[in-house]
DNA sequence: ATCATTGCAAAAGCTTTGCATAAGA
DNA sequence: TCTTATGCAAAGCTTTTGCAATGAT
């Protein structure tokens, strides 16, 4: 079993929460998604198989964030997106403001900056999100 | 007159858009705000004076973003916030996930990373947003 | 006189919630 | 058995939009 699933089940058990087929299906789907997702795309995938309701997805997502498996991603789309983050240090995006194409990257200098700034202001830091906006080669050519 | 106001009027004129009392009031209020704001807080401030409707605020904000006076800020509050950015190079936040206290900072290394990554992927970059999340000294003590 | 802009209220879209039913532990 | 979790539908919020009236140029 993936360690993520074990962590998840442990999280539930510790709080007297139940291991239900719906929660299992959601976690499994999130793990297999391997990219950004939103509630609707997750629901569409799940519908084909197990028929989990959107309400359950909305109720499960805060738990997945709390346990550290996913994080919120703010795209310029009017609704929330999420990404799988367990075991990844930070989550940076280079995004085209025109076609929304997104390239993920990471850079050790960012981790250094995170820790430096945290120390300077007395924060215990817990993650770094970076978005670089611009036009991708294709959209730049067209404008 | 502030250069921002001149830029704004120029922007409108160029597109055959009109200089209305409502738009003037909105820009003036945004310039005087000097901090993060959202539609509701802007509307409350404006209501006392000129009575601009929320619809007009919602219709004006994309223009202010387009002209480069403000940018969207994603807080974990379920609705959009904005900040004044004209003449500022980039906009980085160190934010407490508990009490939402936010410290702004900037770091030249980030600009370097922006340009490097843009060049690497052929993007024409146009801005960088950084959020470092964590617990501020006060909230960290309480937990 | 035109035609962009406004305000209002309705609509839209995402997310949350109340409640009766189902089902883990 | 005792609660927690689910699904559905309704409610809640923010944001967008249609339309008649207003007003800038």
A27-56 pLDDT per residue, tens: 999 999 877 899 999 999 999 988 899 999
B118 in A contact zone (CB under 8 Å): yes
Does the pLDDT value for residue A88 go beyond 80?
Answer: no
* A118 within 8 A of A125, measured Cβ to Cβ: yes
Distance CA B61, CA B26 (A): 9
- Helix axes B3-14 and B54-67, enclosed angle (nearest 10): 100
> What phi and psi values does residue A32 have, to the nearest 5 degrees?
-85, -5
* A132 within 8 A of B114, measured Cβ to Cβ: yes
Q: How does pLDDT run across A65-75, given as a tens digit for each residue?
A: 999 999 999 88
Distance, in angstroms, between A49 CA and closest chain B CA?
Answer: 30
Does the pLDDT value for residue B77 go beyond 70?
Answer: yes
Distance CA A121, CA B101 (A): 12
Q: Which of B126, B7, B3 has the alpha carbon at shortest distance from B63?
A: B7
For chain A, residues classed under CATH 3.30.1490.190 are 92-142
* A114 within 8 A of B134, measured Cβ to Cβ: no
A125 in B contact zone (CB under 8 Å): yes
Residue A89: pLDDT band (50, 70, 90) is: low
Distance CA A12, CA A5 (A): 11
* A100 within 8 A of B103, measured Cβ to Cβ: no
A62 in B contact zone (CB under 8 Å): no
Q: Which residues of chain B make contact with A136, given a CB cutoff of 8 A? A: 121-123
Question: Could B121 and A94 be called an inter-chain contact, meaning their C-beta atoms sit closer than 8 Å?
Answer: yes
Which protein residues have Cβ within 7 A of any strand C atom? A 18-21, 38-40, 54-55, 58-59, 61, 78-80; B 12, 16-18, 20, 22-23, 51-53, 55-56, 59-60, 78
Superfamily grouping for domain A92-142: Ferric-uptake regulator, C-terminal dimerisarion domain (3.30.1490.190)
Please tell me which residue of chain A has the smallest CA distance to B103: A121
CATH code that applies to domain B2-84? 1.10.10.10
For chain A, residues classed under CATH 1.10.10.10 are 2-84
Distance CA A43, CA A54 (A): 6
- pLDDT, mean of residues A59-83: 92
Which nucleotide has the least CA–C1' distance to A59?
Answer: C16
Residue B14: pLDDT band (50, 70, 90) is: very high
Concatenated DSSP letters of chain B: --HHHHHHHHHHHHTT----HHHHHHHHHHHHH-S-EEHHHHHHHHHHHT---HHHHHHHHHHHHHHTSEEEE--TTSS-EEEE-TT-S-EEEEEETTT--EEEE--HHHHHHHHHHHHHHT-EEEEEEEEEEEE-HHHHHH-
* B60 within 8 A of B26, measured Cβ to Cβ: yes
* B131 within 8 A of A74, measured Cβ to Cβ: no
Q: Which residues of chain A make contact with B78, given a CB cutoff of 8 A? A: none
* B114 within 8 A of B130, measured Cβ to Cβ: no
- Chain D nucleotides close to protein (CB under 7 A) are 4-9, 13-18, 23-25
pLDDT at A100: 77
pTM above 0.85, yes or no: yes
Residue B8 burial (CB count, 10 A): 25
Q: Which of A132, A40, A78, A133 has the alpha carbon at shortest distance from B80?
A: A78
Out of B27-31, B35-39, B93-97, B98-102, least confident range: B98-102
pLDDT at B58: 98
Distance CA B80, CA B42 (A): 12
Out of B11-25, B26-40, B58-72, least confident range: B26-40
Residue B31: pLDDT band (50, 70, 90) is: very high
Does the pLDDT value for residue B125 go beyond 70?
Answer: yes
């Amino acid at each position: 079993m993936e360690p993520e699933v074990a962590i998840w089940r442990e999280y539930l058990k510790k709080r007297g929460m139940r291991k239900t087929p719906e929660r299992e299906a959601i976690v499994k789907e999130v793990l297999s998604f391997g990219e950004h997702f939103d509630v609707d795309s997750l629901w569409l995938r799940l519908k084909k198989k197990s028929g989990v309701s959107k309400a359950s997805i909305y109720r499960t997502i805060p738990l997945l964030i709390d346990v550290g498996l996913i994080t919120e991603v703010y795209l310029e789309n009017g609704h929330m997106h999420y990404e799988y983050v367990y075991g990844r240090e930070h989550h940076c995006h280079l995004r085209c403001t025109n076609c929304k194409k997104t390239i993920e990257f990471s850079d050790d200098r960012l981790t250094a900056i995170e820790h430096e700034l945290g120390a300077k202001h007395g924060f215990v830091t817990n993650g770094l999100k970076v978005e670089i906006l611009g036009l991708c080669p294709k959209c730049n050519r067209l404008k």
